[in-house]
Amino acid sequence: MREFTATELEAYLRETGNKPLLLDVREPWEFDKASIEGSTLIPMRQISEHTHEFDSEDEIVVICHHGIRSRVVCHFLENEGFTNVINLAGGVNAWAREVDPHMPTY
């Protein structure tokens, strides 16, 4: 499993023009408080119900609050045959501190 820091992900998105699926696995109330633009919310508890919606070869960046739940989801996706998953280390908390200081924190 690959990992990006918040600044690495921001640079990757900006410089490469790649459009990976930004998969936010937090709860809806968390997503409503703060989210990375363009991300898709599917709470961690619902991931297994939605894996059929994704291509197992697509690049997927998994996001949560601090990077713990997203790491678990990355491992789950890899076990399901997904080959290109990336964990956002530090989650949206790191994104708010390092990339977007206007993003609310909680």
Residues classed as catalytic: 64
Question: How far from 16 is each of 21, 37, 52, CA to CA, in Å?
Answer: 14, 17, 27
The Cα–Cα gap between 21 and 39 comes to 7
The Cα–Cα gap between 7 and 9 comes to 5
